[in-house]
Amino acid sequence: MVLSDVTAPLFSNITLDNILLIGSILLFVSLLASKTTRFGIPTLLLFLLVGMLAGQDGPGGIVFNDPKITKFVGAIALSFILFSGGLETRKADIKPIVWQGLTLSTLGVILTAVVVGWFVSWVTGWSLVEGMLIGAIVSSTDAAAVFSILRSRSIGLKGNLKPLLELESGSNDPMAYILTLSFTYLLTVKDANWIVLIAVFFKQMILGGVVGYAAGLAMHRIFNWIRLEAEGLYPVLLITMVLLVFSFSDFIGGNAFLAVYLSAYVLGNTDFIHKKSLTKHFDGQAWLMQIIMFITLGLLVTPSAIMPLIGLGLLISAFLILIARPLSVFITLHFFKINTREKLFVSWVGLRGAVPIVLATYPMIASVDKSNGIFHLVFFISVTSVLIQGTSLPLVAKWLKLSVPVSSKKKSVLDLEQAWETKSVYKAIPVEPHFNCIGHSIVDLKLPPTIIIALVERRNKFFISDGATRLHAGDVIYVMADDAESIDQLTDCFNAPKEKKES
C-alpha cells in the first residue's frame, strides 16, 4: 500500500464525517505557507495555491465545482474583510483625501471597466457587452489584497497615499458589483431595459448607504447600552450585527457590501465598549475569512482550463496594468493636488485579488455563455496582478521616492502598554459623592482623547478599567494625560468643584 492509496479517499470524497478534518488540514497548511512571505511571495497567492493543490487537478483530488457555494462563501468572507477594513479606517486619516478616494472608487471603476471591456471585445471578437462584463469584473482593486500587502510588508508611504489606497480598495467593490450584475443582466435577458438598470443602481447605492450609516449608529448605541454577562459574548454580538447588516441590506435590495463597509466606518469612529479588543478580534476573523475564501476559490479553479487562456490572459493583464488602470487614475485625479509620482504609484497599486474571482462566479450561476472561460480568465488576471504588482510594491515605492522608513521593531502587548509612557501627567482623582459621573460607564463620559484612565481603585482593590466600567462614589481613578489642562477637562467632565482641581 502506498501513501496515495490512503490519502486519496480522504481528500477526493468530502463528507460530513471528514469535512472538518480536511478543512482544518487546509487551514493549517495555509498558515504554514504564510511563513514564506519573507521571500516576497504574497500570502494571498499561497492560500490560492493551497486550494489548487487540494483540487481535482492537484494531489488532493477534491472535486469541487459549485459556483453557488463559492459565491456564498465569498460574499460572507468579503463582508468580514470589508468590515474589518472599515473598522480601522479613521476619519482624521481619510478626511484630506475623501473625495479623491470616492472618485477613484466610482468614476475610476467605471472608466476601467469601459476601457478594458472595449479592449477585450477588440482582441477576442466577443460582443461588446461580453467584453464589458470582463471589464466590470476586474474593475475594482481588492481590499483584501491591498490591506494585506501594505500591512504585512510594513510599507511606509509619504503623505496621504496609504489612506487613499485603503479607502479606494475598501469602497470600490460596490460599484464593481453593480456593474457585474448589470452586464450579466444584459447578457441573460433578451429585452433588457437600461432604465431598469439605472433604477437598480440608484436603489442599491441609496439603500446600502442609508442602511450602513443607520446600522453604524445603531451598533454604537447597542454596544454602549447592552450589558452582557460574559466579555466573550461581545465578539459574538459584533459578528451577529455584521451578518444582520449584510443580509438585511441585501434582502431589501440595497448594496450589502456598501452597507457593511459604511457601518464599520461609522462604528469605528466612535467610542464603544471593548473597542480595542473587538477591533483586534475582528482582524483575526478577517484573516480567517481570507484564507477560507482563497482556498475555496482555488478549489473551484481547474488549472488545466487555464492553460489555453494564458496568452490572452497575459495580454489583458498587461493592458489593465499598464494602460487601463493608469488612464483611469490620471483622469479621475486630474483635478486634485496629487503629483505625477503619486499618481503613478496609485496606478501601480491597482491589485486585483479575490473580489474579481468571486464576482466571476455570478455569470456562471446565471449560465452566461462563455462563463467558465470568463471565470478562469479572470482568475489568471487576478493572480498575475497580485504576483507582479504585489511583489514589486516596495521597489516601485522606492523608485518613485515615496517610501518612508518603517521601524522594524515588532509590536507586542508590552509595546502597546509602554505607549502610556508618552503621557506626561499622572494623577489619582478620588470620585466624590457629588460628581455627576457616578453610575455612568466610562465610555459614556466622552472624555478628551488626550486622557487614559489606566486603573480604578475600589475598596482597596485595583483593576484595569474598560469602556463598560461604571464609576462609584469612593472610587479612585488613576489618570494619564498629555498635560495639566487635560486633567482640568477631565474634572470638568466629572463636575468637580474648582477649588478641588489640582495643577
What is the model's pLDDT at position 120? 94
The pLDDT assigned to 232 comes to 80
Determine the Cα–Cα distance for residues 480 and 496; give it in Å rounded to an integer.
Answer: 18
Look at residue 56 and tell me whether its pLDDT is greater than 60: yes
Say if CB 495 and CB 438 are below 8 A apart.
no
166-175 pLDDT, tens per residue?
888 878 888 8
Residue 130, burial from CB neighbour count under 10 angstroms (0-12, 13-18, 19+): buried
Burial of 417: CB neighbours in 10 Å, binned 0-12, 13-18, 19+? exposed
Give me the percent of the chain exceeding a pLDDT of 70: 79
What's the CA gap between 389 and 395, in Å, rounded?
Answer: 10
Categorize the per-residue pLDDT at 369 as very low, low, confident or very high, splitting at 50, 70 and 90.
confident
3-state secondary structure of 160: coil
Per-residue pLDDT, 235: 87
Please tell me which residue, 94 or 414, carries the higher pLDDT value. Answer: 94
> Bridge-partner residues for 341, per DSSP?
none
Question: Which sign does the torsion angle of CA 106, 112, 117, 118 carry?
Answer: positive
Contact criterion met (CB below 8 Å) for 63 and 80: no
Question: Residue by residue, what is the 3-state secondary structure of 437-472?
Answer: CCCCEHHHHCCCCCEEEEEEEECCEEEECCCCCECC
pLDDT of residue 54: 77
The set of residues, in sequence order, having a beta carbon less than 8 Å from that of 277 and lying 6+ positions away, is 234
Q: What does the mean pLDDT of the chain come to?
A: 79
Q: Which CATH architecture has domain 3-404?
A: Up-down Bundle (1.20)
What is the reported pLDDT for 90? 82
pLDDT surpassing 70 at residue 259: yes
Q: Taking residues 243-263, report their average pLDDT.
A: 91
pLDDT tens-place string over residues 422-469: 445 667 778 777 777 777 777 676 676 667 777 788 877 776 666 667
3-state SS, residue 366: coil
Lowest-confidence segment of 21-30, 172-181, 488-497 by average pLDDT? 488-497
Query: What secondary structure letter does DSSP report for 172?
Result: S
pLDDT at 502 over 50: no
Closest CA to 77 of 107, 108, 47, 32: 47
**324 pLDDT above the threshold of 90:** yes
Question: What is the fold of 413-500?
Answer: Alpha-Beta Plaits (3.30.70)
Residue 396 backbone dihedrals phi, psi, to 5 degrees: -65, -40
Exposure string of 151-163, with b = 16+ CB inside 10 Å and e = fewer, is eebebbbeebbbb
Question: Do residues 179 and 117 touch, judged by C-beta distance below 8 A?
Answer: no
Indicate the pairing of strand 425-430 with strand 461-464: unpaired
Does residue 8 surpass a pLDDT of 60? no
Q: What is the pTM of this model?
A: 0.74
Residue 414: band (very low, low, confident or very high) from pLDDT cuts 50, 70, 90:
very low
Q: Is pLDDT of 344 > 70?
A: yes
Chain region(s) in the chain for CATH 1.20.1530.20: 3-404
Dist CA 334 CA 330 (whole Å): 6
103-117, 155-169, 292-306: which has the highest mean pLDDT? 103-117
Higher-scoring residue by pLDDT: 122, 161: 122
Q: Considering the chain, what percentage of its residues have pLDDT values greater than 90? A: 19
CA-to-CA dists, residue 396 to 257, 346, 405, angstroms? 31, 11, 15
Task: Report pLDDT for 5.
Answer: 43
Q: What pLDDT sits at residue 456?
A: 80
pLDDT value for 492: 67
d(CA 386, CA 378): 12
What is the pLDDT at residue 155? 63
Could you say which DSSP state residue 107 is in?
A: I
Every domain of the chain with CATH number 3.30.70.1450 lies at 413-500
Please state which of the ranges 310-314, 386-390, 462-466 shows the lowest mean pLDDT. 462-466
- Number of other CB atoms surrounding residue 83 within 10 Å: 30
User: In this structure, what C-alpha cell is assigned to residue 363?
Assistant: 455569470
Q: Which three cell numbers stand for residue 267?
A: 462604528
pLDDT higher than 90, residue 322? yes
Helices (H), 349-444: 354-359, 361-365, 371-385, 391-399, 413-418
Beta partners for residue 453, in sequence order: 479
